[in-house]
Amino acid sequence: MGPSDWVYINGRLCRAEDAAISPFDRGFLFAHAAYEVTAVFGGQLIDFEGHVARLQRTLTGIDILNAPDNETLEMLHREIVRRNELTEGFIYLQLTGGAYGARDFAGPETLKPGLFMFCEARQLIGDKARDGVHAILVEDQRWKRRDYKTTQLLSQALAYREAQRSGATSAILHEDGHVTEAASATLWVVTPDGKLITRNLGHQILPGITRQAVLDRLSETGLEVEERAASVEEVREAAEIFTTAATSLVLPIITLDGKPVGEGGPGRVTRRVQGLYYRAIGADIGTRAPWLI
């Protein structure tokens, strides 16, 4: 599967092959751009309000102040879904500092944003969710404001390339003896005594929208979650590890640096979280995830 046929760029819907941006766009020149990824399941936008709220927070933080409002963005998302007949997958949005015919670090006082959107059909609940994936540890070398969802993704891209060369699927980032998050997802750790840990919010990690949706549902179950930094050693000794993200929902990690996590397969807590979230987005468990029954 690949990107959709129909995309939105700077005020118009067009075929992907007809889309073009200026080489002077600040997103291209300086990575001066925010982005969001919203899951689509059963033709419906998942956790959309959280995604646009985070987008607006990021835009304020990176000084792009006259972006489309949330109502307009929702309308565009739904039109992308309709035009591409998307039932399951995700919508990618990139909102840049725009182009003004020059390369200047500061740029004009008021930026005129550029907006690009596309979707991709993808099975969100599939073999990887059932069987789990492999991960490696990689040093976190990102900039300090990781709580902004920007297109400054070189460190993450290099982490994924390192994982790929190691025969793994994912990378878990760490610094100063503690893990931060996965390369493009929130990290969750289950300790041998059954405690569930995920990193507390701050500048060190992105405030995951799927993370918050999972936390909201876990609060209804009585399952205790510690929001704190887990040490690298805690991760290496974990009984279970999983990640949450819009593009993979709840994804078990079954090996780390080539060694089994726990018993080497998706664990009981991971399966419980998968069930909670899949039901919350309207999935028929018997059809889409019979391995949870």
One pLDDT digit (tens) per residue for the chain, 293 residues: 678 899 999 999 999 999 999 999 999 999 999 999 999 999 999 999 999 999 999 999 999 999 999 999 999 999 999 999 999 999 999 999 999 999 999 999 999 999 999 999 999 999 999 999 999 999 999 999 999 999 999 999 999 999 999 999 999 999 999 999 999 999 999 999 999 999 999 999 999 999 999 999 998 888 889 999 999 999 999 999 999 999 999 999 999 999 999 999 999 999 999 999 999 999 999 999 999 99
Rounded to whole angstroms, how far apart are CA atoms 242 and 228?
Answer: 16
Q: What confidence score (pLDDT) does residue 192 get? A: 96
Contact 93, 65 (CB under 8 A): no
Hey, which CATH number is domain 6-121, 3.10.129.10, 3.40.50.970, 3.30.930.10, 3.30.470.10? 3.30.470.10
Angle of CA points 212, 216, 219, to nearest 5°: 135
Q: What confidence score (pLDDT) does residue 220 get? A: 84
Q: What confidence score (pLDDT) does residue 3 get? A: 85
Q: What confidence score (pLDDT) does residue 30 get? A: 97
Q: What confidence score (pLDDT) does residue 221 get? A: 87
Residue 275 gets the label, from left (phi > 0), alpha (psi -120 to 50) or beta, of alpha
In 3D space, the residue among 245, 262, 181, 252 whose CA is nearest the CA of residue 209 turns out to be 245
pTM over 0.85: yes
pLDDT tens-digit readout, 22-41: 999 999 999 999 999 999 99
CATH number of the domain located at residue range(s) 127-292 in this protein: 3.20.10.10
User: DSSP secondary-structure letter at 154?
Assistant: H
Domain 6-121 matches domain 127-292 at the CATH topology level = no
If 0-12 CB within 10 Å is exposed, 13-18 middle and 19+ buried, where does residue 245 land?
buried
Q: What confidence score (pLDDT) does residue 222 get? A: 82
Q: Domain ranges in the chain?
A: 6-121, 127-292
Q: What confidence score (pLDDT) does residue 1 get? A: 64
Rounded to whole angstroms, how far apart are CA atoms 224 and 215?
Answer: 10
